[in-house]
C-alpha cells in the first residue's frame, strides 16, 4: 500500500476506483476492492496521524480530540452557533482514529429493518459474515474475567483486522462492581452482566474496546481502521494508493451523468502560501465512491450539483440532479452526563476513581429498555408512539423543518424506529458509567432518537464547513427519554451501593433532588453534545421516500457514483456504529464489484 502526500501521484491519473475519504468505510471498501486486483486511489483530506500517541494509545486519548478532528461548528435552526462542535476524525482512519473505541454488536431486528425499508439484501444474516470477518477478538485473561469481563466467543469474529479486547489493566473494577449492583436497582429487569455482543440476553456489561495490549509499550493500542487496514503487514495491497492531505471538491461527470472521477485540491495544511485555487483531476474506470462520512459526503454531492435545488441555487452551483434527500434526515444521539463527588476517603482509591478517566471511556455500558426506564408507565408512554395521528404530526414537523423530504418518507423512517421500540422492545437509552478525578461520572443519551436535523453547504468553497443543524430533542419522545434517563442517572448515583462513597450525587446540578421535569429539560439542553454517531444524511432508501442511494449504493440520477459511509444508514442503531459500518462497507465492496 502506498501512502503519500504527493499530488503528482494522482493528478491526471486513472484508477479502477477512486474513493473520497480514508476513514472506516473508505479504507474498508478500498482494501477489499484492491484485494480483488482493482487499482484503487483513496483521497483523504487529513494527514497520517499514526505517529501521534493521542491517536495510537487508548490511554493517551484526548477528549475531545484536538488533533485529527474536524470539530465542525453546529447551529440552531435560527443560525445561532451552539457551544459544542460535531467531532469527526480528520486523518487516515477517520473517526476510528479519535473515537471512544466501544465495540458491541447490533440486534438482528434493527439490521433486518434496513431491508424492510426497501433495501433488498441488507439484513442481519447477510451482514453477519462481514461483522465476523472484521473482528479479531482477543479473549479476556482469567484476571480480566475475575474483574468482570464477560466473553462469549460465538458473538465475536476471531480472524479479522480489527482487534477487540478488554483493557489491560481493567479500569476501575471497584466502581464497575458498584455500578453493576446499582443499575438494576434503578432499572429493574436490566439483564445482568455478560458479553454485550450477545444482544438476546445481555444488556449490561463491562465494555469491550477496539484495542489490543502492546506489551512493549505497556499500553493499550487503538485498533483503528488505519492500524487494521493500512499499516498492518498482512493487509498490504499491490494496487492501493492513499493520497493524504488532499481534499475532494466534487465529482466529475460525463454528459450521461456517469461519474468519471474526482476534482481534488491540496489541503491548506500542505501548502505554504495562500489557499490553492487550482484543482486537480483523477479519473475512475469503474466507479467513484464517496466515503467522507455523514457530515462530509453531502457537501461533496452538493458541490457536484446533486442536492436540493434551493440549496444549490443559494450556493451558486449549477444543478445536476435534483435530489432532495441529500443532507436531510441527519441523526445523532444528544448526550450529557451526571456527576457525583466522591467522599474524601475514596478519592485516591484507584479501583473506584481513575484520574485519567474518560480516555478508555465507559467501563460499564447499560442499554435500557422502555419498561426498565418507565416501569408501570411504559405502555402509556409507548401508546403515544403507535397512533397514526401522532406519527403524521411527527413526520409533518420533520418535513416542515426540511429535515425530511416528504411525509411518506419521514413516516417510513420514524416507523422503523418506532416498530423496533414497541414490537421488538429495543433499548431506548444508553447509560455509560465511568469515573474521573474525584468524581463518578455517568453519561447517557436517548439511544434511538426520532428527531432529525440537516446539513448543507452555503458556498461552493470546499474549504468552508457546512451548516450543520442537529435539531436535537425536537420530538416529544426524545424529550421524555432524555428527562427520564437524566433523572435515573441521579438515582443510580444516590442508590444504596454508593452510600458513604458518594458525597454529593447532584454535583453541578443546581436543581438538586427536587428538580422538576422542566429543570431537567433545561439542564439537558444546556449541557448536551452529540454522541458522535452521525448518520442518515445520504440515506439508502427508495427515491420516493427521500433516498439518496439505492440498495446497490448508487446515487440516484447518476451512474457509477456510490456512497458508502455512515450517511447511508437511515435510522440510529443501538450498537454505536463501528460494528455495523465495517460490515456494511465490507458488503458494499462486493455489491459494487458485482456491478462492474
Ligand atoms: C469522538 C467520536 C467517538 C466515537 N465513539 C465511538 C465508539 O466508541 N464506538 C463506535 O462504534 N463508534 C464510535 N464513533 C463513531 C464511528 O467512529 C463513526 O461512526 C465511523 O468512524 C464513521 O465512519 P465513516 O466511514 O462514515 O466516516 P469516518 O470514519 O469519519 O471517515 C471519513 C473520512 O473522510 C475524510 N474526509 C472528509 N471530507 C473529505 C473530503 N472532502 N475529501 C477527502 N476526505 C474527506 C475524513 O477526514 C475522514 O478521514 C465515534 C465517533 C467519534 C467522532
Which residue's C-alpha comes closest to atom 2 of ligand 1? 99
CA of 296 relative to ligand 1 center, distance in Å = 10
- Say how many C-beta atoms besides its own lie within 10 A of residue 352's C-beta: 20
Residue 462 has pLDDT above 70, yes or no: yes
For the chain, percent of residues with pLDDT exceeding 70:
98
Residue 268 has pLDDT above 90, yes or no: no
The answer to whether the CB of 409 falls within 8 A of the CB of 402 is no
Q: Say yes or no: CB of residue 21 within 6 Å of ligand 1.
A: yes
**Mind giving me the DSSP string for 469-489?**
E--TT-SHHHHHHHHHHHHHH
| Domain 2-51+68-137+145-166+207-330+533-595: CATH architecture, name and number where available | 3-Layer(bba) Sandwich (3.50)
pLDDT in tens, 287-323: 999 999 999 999 999 999 999 999 999 999 999 999 9
Instruction: With CA atoms as reference, report the closest residue to 373 among 277, 480, 279.
Output: 480
Q: Could you identify the atom of ligand 1 that is nearest to the CA of residue 94?
A: 49
Nearest-angstrom CA–CA distance, 295 and 85: 12
Residue 49 has pLDDT above 80, yes or no: yes
Nearest-angstrom CA–CA distance, 403 and 471: 9
Which residue's C-alpha comes closest to atom 13 of ligand 1? 99
Query: How large is the average pLDDT for residues 355-373?
Result: 89
Q: Could you identify the atom of ligand 1 that is nearest to the CA of residue 578?
A: 11
Quick one: DSSP state of residue 5?
-
pLDDT in tens, 383-441: 889 999 999 999 999 999 999 999 999 999 999 999 999 999 999 999 999 999 899 99
CA angle 561, 566, 570 (to 5 degrees): 90
Q: Say yes or no: CB of residue 85 within 6 Å of ligand 1.
A: no
Is residue 472 exposed (0-12), middle (13-18) or buried (19+ Cβ within 10 Å)?
buried
Mutate to test the pocket of ligand 1, among 23, 164, 197, 589 (most ligand atoms within 8 A of CB): 23
Q: Could you identify the atom of ligand 1 that is nearest to the CA of residue 102?
A: 8
Q: Say yes or no: CB of residue 302 within 6 Å of ligand 1.
A: no
Q: Say yes or no: CB of residue 101 within 6 Å of ligand 1.
A: yes
pLDDT for res 20: 98
pLDDT in tens, 276-289: 567 999 999 999 99
Nearest-angstrom CA–CA distance, 568 and 547: 9
Strands 240-243 and 162-164: unpaired
Q: Could you identify the atom of ligand 1 that is nearest to the CA of residue 462?
A: 41
Q: Say yes or no: CB of residue 293 within 6 Å of ligand 1.
A: yes
In DSSP terms, 287 is beta-bridged to: 17
Q: Which three cell numbers stand for residue 124?
A: 442481519
CA of 94 relative to ligand 1 center, distance in Å = 5
CA of 513 relative to ligand 1 center, distance in Å = 38
Q: Which three cell numbers stand for residue 108?
A: 438482528
Quickly state the pLDDT bin for 191 (edges 50, 70, 90).
Answer: confident
Nearest-angstrom CA–CA distance, 142 and 152: 14
Q: Say yes or no: CB of residue 481 within 6 Å of ligand 1.
A: no
CA of 300 relative to ligand 1 center, distance in Å = 16
Residue 37 has pLDDT above 70, yes or no: yes
pLDDT for res 270: 58
Alpha helices in 423-567 (DSSP H): 476-494, 517-527
pLDDT for res 277: 62
Q: Say yes or no: CB of residue 296 within 6 Å of ligand 1.
A: yes
Nearest-angstrom CA–CA distance, 329 and 331: 6
pLDDT for res 276: 53
pLDDT averaged over every residue in the chain? 96
Query: How large is the average pLDDT for residues 531-556?
Result: 98
Contacts of 277 (CB under 8 A, 6+ apart): none
Q: Which three cell numbers stand for residue 43?
A: 483521497
- Give the residue carrying C-alpha cell 458556498: 459
pLDDT in tens, 467-505: 999 999 999 999 999 999 999 999 999 999 999 999 999
CA of 493 relative to ligand 1 center, distance in Å = 32
ipTM of the complex: 1.00
The answer to whether the CB of 40 falls within 8 A of the CB of 3 is no
Lowest mean pLDDT among 186-195, 203-212, 319-328: 186-195
Which residue's C-alpha comes closest to atom 49 of ligand 1? 94
Which residue's C-alpha comes closest to atom 9 of ligand 1? 102
Quickly state the pLDDT bin for 273 (edges 50, 70, 90).
Answer: low
Counting DSSP H helices and E strands in the chain, the numbers are 16, 27
Q: Output phi, psi for 119, to 5 deg.
A: -125, 80
The CB-side HSE value for 175 (13 A sphere, CA atoms) comes to: 32
Domain ranges of the chain: 2-51+68-137+145-166+207-330+533-595
Query: How large is the average pLDDT for residues 90-94?
Result: 98
Strands 204-206 and 529-530: unpaired
Residue 272 has pLDDT above 80, yes or no: no
Is residue 516 exposed (0-12), middle (13-18) or buried (19+ Cβ within 10 Å)?
exposed
Query: How large is the average pLDDT for residues 82-91?
Result: 98
pLDDT for res 271: 56
CA of 97 relative to ligand 1 center, distance in Å = 8
**CA of 30: how far to CAs of 45, 252, 314, 344, in Å?**
16, 19, 34, 53
Residue 541 has pLDDT above 60, yes or no: yes
Cis before residue 64, ω within 30 degrees of 0?
yes
Q: Is the dihedral of CA 277, 281, 282, 288 positive or negative?
A: positive
Q: Could you identify the atom of ligand 1 that is nearest to the CA of residue 87?
A: 53
Amino acid at each position: 500500500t502506498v501512502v503519500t502526500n504527493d499530488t503528482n501521484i494522482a493528478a491526471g491519473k486513472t484508477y479502477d476506483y477512486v474513493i473520497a475519504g480514508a476513514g472506516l468505510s473508505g479504507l474498508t471498501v478500498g482494501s477489499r476492492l484492491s484485494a480483488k486486483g482493482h487499482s484503487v486511489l483513496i483521497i483523504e483530506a487529513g494527514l497520517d496521524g499514526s505517529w501521534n500517541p493521542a491517536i495510537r494509545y487508548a490511554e493517551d486519548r484526548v477528549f475531545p480530540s484536538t488533533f485529527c478532528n474536524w470539530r465542525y461548528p453546529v447551529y440552531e435552526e435560527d443560525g445561532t452557533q451552539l457551544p459544542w462542535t460535531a467531532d469527526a476524525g480528520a486523518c487516515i482512519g477517520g473517526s476510528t482514529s479519535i473515537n471512544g473505541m466501544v465495540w458491541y454488536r447490533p440486534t438482528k431486528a434493527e439490521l433486518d429493518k434496513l431491508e424492510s425499508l426497501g433495501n433488498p439484501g441488507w439484513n442481519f444474516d447477510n451482514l453477519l459474515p462481514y461483522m465476523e470477518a472484521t473482528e479479531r477478538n482477543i479473549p479476556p485473561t482469567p484476571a480480566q474475567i475475575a474483574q468482570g469481563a464477560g466473553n462469549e466467543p460465538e458473538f465475536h469474529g476471531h480472524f479479522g483486522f480489527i482487534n477487540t479486547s478488554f483493557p489491560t489493566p481493567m479500569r476501575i473494577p471497584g466502581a464497575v462492581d458498584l455500578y453493576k449492583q446499582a443499575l438494576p436497582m434503578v432499572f429493574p429487569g436490566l439483564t445482568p452482566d455478560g458479553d454485550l455482543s450477545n444482544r438476546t440476553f445481555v444488556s449490561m456489561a463491562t465494555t469491550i474496546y477496539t484495542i489490543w495490549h502492546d506489551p512493549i509499550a505497556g499500553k493499550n493500542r487503538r485498533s483503528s481502521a488505519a492500524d487494521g487496514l493500512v499499516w498492518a503487514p498482512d493487509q498490504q495491497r499491490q494496487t492501493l494508493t492513499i493520497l493524504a492531505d488532499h481534499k475532494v471538491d466534487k465529482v466529475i461527470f460525463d454528459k450521461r451523468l456517469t461519474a468519471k472521477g474526482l476534482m481534488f485540491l491540496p489541503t491548506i495544511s500542505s501548502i505554504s502560501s495562500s489557499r490553492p485555487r487550482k484543482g486537480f483531476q483523477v479519473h475512475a474506470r469503474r466507479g467513484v465512491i464517496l466515503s467522507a462520512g455523514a457530515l462530509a459526503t453531502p457537501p461533496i454531492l452538493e458541490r457536484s450539483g446533486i442536492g436540493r435545488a434551493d440549496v444549490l441555487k443559494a450556493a451558486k452551483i449549477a444543478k445536476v440532479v435534483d435530489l432532495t434527500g441529500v443532507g436531510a434526515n441527519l441523526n445523532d444521539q444528544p448526550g450529557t452526563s451526571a456527576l457525583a463527588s466522591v467522599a474524601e476517603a475514596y478519592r485516591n482509591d484507584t479501583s473506584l476513581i481513575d484520574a485519567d478517566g474518560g480516555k478508555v471511556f465507559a467501563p460499564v455500558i447499560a442499554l435500557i429498555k422502555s419498561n426498565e426506564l418507565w416501569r408501570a408507565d411504559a405502555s402509556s408512554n409507548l401508546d403515544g408512539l403507535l397512533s397514526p395521528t401522532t406519527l403524521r404530526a411527527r413526520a409533518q414537523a420533520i418535513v416542515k423543518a426540511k429535515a425530511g423530504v416528504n411525509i411518506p418518507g419521514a413516516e417510513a423512517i420514524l416507523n422503523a424506529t418506532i416498530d423496533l421500540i414497541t414490537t421488538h422492545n429495543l433499548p431506548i437509552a444508553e447509560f455509560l458509567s465511568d469515573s474521573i478525578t474525584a468524581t463518578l461520572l455517568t453519561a447517557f443519551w436517548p439511544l434511538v432518537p426520532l428527531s432529525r436535523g440537516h446539513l448543507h453547504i452555503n458556498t461552493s468553497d470546499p474549504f468552508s464547513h457546512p451548516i450543520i443543524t442537529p435539531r436535537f430533542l425536537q420530538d416529544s419522545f426524545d424529550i421524555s427519554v432524555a428527562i427520564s434517563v437524566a433523572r435515573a442517572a441521579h438515582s443510580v448515583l444516590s442508590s444504596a451501593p454508593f452510600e458513604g462513597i458518594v458525597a454529593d450525587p447532584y454535583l453541578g446540578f443546581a436543581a438538586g433532588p427536587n428538580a422538576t421535569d422542566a429543570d431537567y429539560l433545561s439542564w439537558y439542553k444546556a449541557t448536551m453534545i452529540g454522541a458522535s454517531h452521525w448518520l442518515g444524511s445520504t440515506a439508502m432508501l427508495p427515491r420516493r421516500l427521500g433516498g439518496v442511494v439505492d440498495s446497490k449504493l448508487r446515487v440516484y440520477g447518476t451512474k457509477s457514483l456510490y456512497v458508502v459511509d455512515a450517511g447511508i444508514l437511515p435510522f440510529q442503531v443501538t450498537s454505536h456504529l463501528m460494528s455495523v459500518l465495517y460490515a456494511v462497507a465490507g458488503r458494499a465492496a462486493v455489491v459494487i464489484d458485482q456491478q462492474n
